Structure 1
Amino acid sequence: MQDKIEEMEKLEILINQFQDLHEEYTGVWLDEVFLHWDWWISLIISVGTWIFWIFYRKKESTHRLLHAGIFAMLISIILCYIGSAFGLWYYTGKLTPTYPAWFPYNLSLLPVTIMFLIQTKPHIASWKKGIFYGLLTAFVGEPIFVWAGFYVMTGWEYIYSVPIYAIIFIVCDWLTKRDTFEKV
């Protein structure tokens, strides 16, 4: 029982430190990011990608595509947290003062580009589109965000992202092709 009490005391200290850091981070975010140019770009990416998707989605496939998009969001946020926690990267110019995710990417750009590519040329093999998506995202998308200063890689290389993005795409594509949806 004493071990559990000591564990809880140590965790409480860490949680308090985390809360203090978050307060400090929020102050910096309010002073240096909120309503500055990078915040506006984040907002435009967040809203603009979904507006694009609303107009250019395959309407009869909306729910299947959203099923895949939500999966992409969840996986993206989980992997983002892991990478940030291990110090492999971090983000600046964030829409919200949250750790670690850059929501314009995790909740907008990644899922929308995946959903759009899934519905584009559906006859092309999923693995080919997945590799294309992985290469395009890792060697075009990521460098643009590094150049713009939104994404800072501290222990990560672009090449590491290729199989991750490819697998996420392939799984999302697979999810859209399931016939297991049934009325409740």
Structure 2
Amino acid sequence: MSYYPSDEQLAQMTKELTQARLENWLATDLLTWQWWFIVVTFIIPWIVFYYLADRKQLPKILLYGTLLILLIITLDLVGFELGLWYYPFKLLPVGPLTGYIDLSPLPVIYMLEYQYFPRWKDFVKVSIVTGIVFSFCFEPILISLGLYIPIRWEHHYGLPFYILMPILMRGAVEKVFTSAKKQS
């Protein structure tokens, strides 16, 4: 008979891991220059979005952004749990371990692209360019700053995700709003 942990044991391990994360965050992350960098890169994109967002398109843009955030968080957590990468510095010790990237600036950039490139052809082109920039510019910068550590991951692995995520979510949002117009 093989041994595996019970649900109660897993709950206890999770509690202990959360406590260890909190202690680590307080000792190594909070108020460091990396933590302040994360705070700034979390807040600034949303300020920019506030001023640039087209209020008439806000329901579509925010639905698009919300769907993207859910997808980005899910994929990022799967990658983390599988040991593909990790983030040594965190905005907060609990919750999505990479919240500053998953909640801002990635979705904000994608939402502004959604707004400024309404034609599919242009949107696909800008998604390809953005994917290249995220994969081959932003990821290496985060690595050089010590904010992102790939373990079993190469920059080019992320390229299809960075390209397909905005395209798929745009398709989903367009379908939702087309269906809603047909119903009214």
TM-score band by shorter chain is: 0.7 to 0.9
TM-score computed with the length of structure 1 as normaliser: 0.88
Contact 1:64 1:175 (C-alpha < 8 Å) held by counterparts:
no
C-alpha deviation, 1:133, in angstroms: 2.0
Q: Aligned pair in 2 of structure 1 residues 160, 20: CA closer, same or farther (>3 Å)?
A: same
Note if 1:148 corresponds to 2:145.
yes
C-alpha deviation, 1:124, in angstroms: 5.7
TM-score computed with the length of structure 2 as normaliser: 0.88
The Cα RMSD (Å) is 2.3
For residues 97-148 of structure 1, what are the alpha-carbon distances to aligned partners after superposition, in whole Å with 9 as ceiling and x for unaligned?
A: 0265311110111110100111223336133222222111111111111111
Q: Which runs of 5+ in 2 are unaligned?
A: none
CA distance in 1, matches of 2:4, 2:158: 37
Q: Which residue of 2 aligns with 1:136?
A: 133
The percentage of counterpart residues that share the same residue type is 28
Note if 1:120 corresponds to 2:116.
yes
Q: 2:162 aligns with which of 155, 165, 178?
A: 165
Q: Which residue of 2 aligns with 1:180?
A: 179
C-alpha deviation, 1:9, in angstroms: 6.2
Q: Which residue of 2 aligns with 1:43?
A: 39
Contact 1:133 1:169 (C-alpha < 8 Å) held by counterparts:
no
Q: Aligned pair in 2 of structure 1 residues 57, 176: CA closer, same or farther (>3 Å)?
A: farther
Amino acid at match of 2:132: L
C-alpha deviation, 1:85, in angstroms: 0.6
Q: Which runs of 5+ in 1 are unaligned?
A: 1-6
Q: Which residue of 2 aligns with 1:104?
A: 100
